[in-house]
Chain A
Amino acid sequence: DIQMTQSPSSLSASVGDRVTITCRASQGIRNDLNWYLQKPGKAPKRLIYAASSLQSGVPSRFSGSGSGTEFTFTISSLQPEDFATYYCLQYNTFPLTFGGGTKVEIK
């Protein structure tokens, strides 16, 4: 199975901060990677697909980049509604595998 190593596992940030999360794949996955946001008690929501494509309706402060084994997710200016847990998911190789998640908390 492809291991997705997501870092950091948690971070504290303030409104307006730039936040960056990284996912590293144990082998190359081209750009077959999504990013999801999950708020407590809610279902995950897809934000980014194919590593860098923004889901329709998602604010442009969210972005993704990378290919192969290294991927980055960025929130350019953190907003109050962005405090949540973020997950990456690779879908290049069966079985699909998620990163461990990054909890973004208020500083």
Chain B
Amino acid sequence: EVQLVESGGGVVRPGGSLTLSCVASGFTFEDYAMSWVRQLPGKGLEWVTGIKWNGGDAGYVDSVKGRFSISRDNTKNSLSLQMNSLRAEDTALYYCARGQSGGWSSAPEYWGQGTLVTVSS
């Protein structure tokens, strides 16, 4: 059974930083792209970033480019999202998701339960 468990969410002040983590199990982690998708409170879904199976390439939505950085450690079946210069509009539930395939833009197939990030002074 595919399992994705996120952690690291919390309350942070505008301009602050936070690192989200996701630990995967139940599949061969190194075979699949991974991504982060967020959901603003009471709103729809927004794909934020994705990383190729080997970590060799990644993409970001324009609103986070230059502020967020995705990485993975295939030896530890883990995915990270480093978030810097956080803004109020980054407040959301962040989901870790496994892709359908290995390319960094692979659509999410399985999702974690999410970790909540609140940016507030």
Contact = CB atoms under 8 A, between A and B. Distances in A.
Contacts, number: 52
B113 A43 contact: yes
B60 to A, nearest CB: 8
B88 interface: no
A36 B109 CA distance: 9
Contact of B47 (A42, A49, A96, A100): A96
Nearest to B44: A101
Interface stretch (B13-21, B22-30, B76-84, B99-107): B99-107
A30 interface: no
B107 A49 contact: yes
A96 B105 CA distance: 7
Interface residues of A, number: 21
Interface stretch (A15-23, A61-69, A76-84, A87-95): A87-95
Contacts of A97: 47
Interface string B49-91: 0100000000111100000000000000000000000000000
B113 A95 contact: no
Contacts of B61: 95
B109 A98 contact: no
Given A34-B108, A91-B107, 10 more contacts: A34-B107, A38-B45, A43-B113, A43-B114, A44-B45, A89-B45, A89-B108, A91-B105, A95-B47, A101-B45
Interface of A: 32, 34, 36, 38, 42-46, 49, 87, 89, 91, 94-101
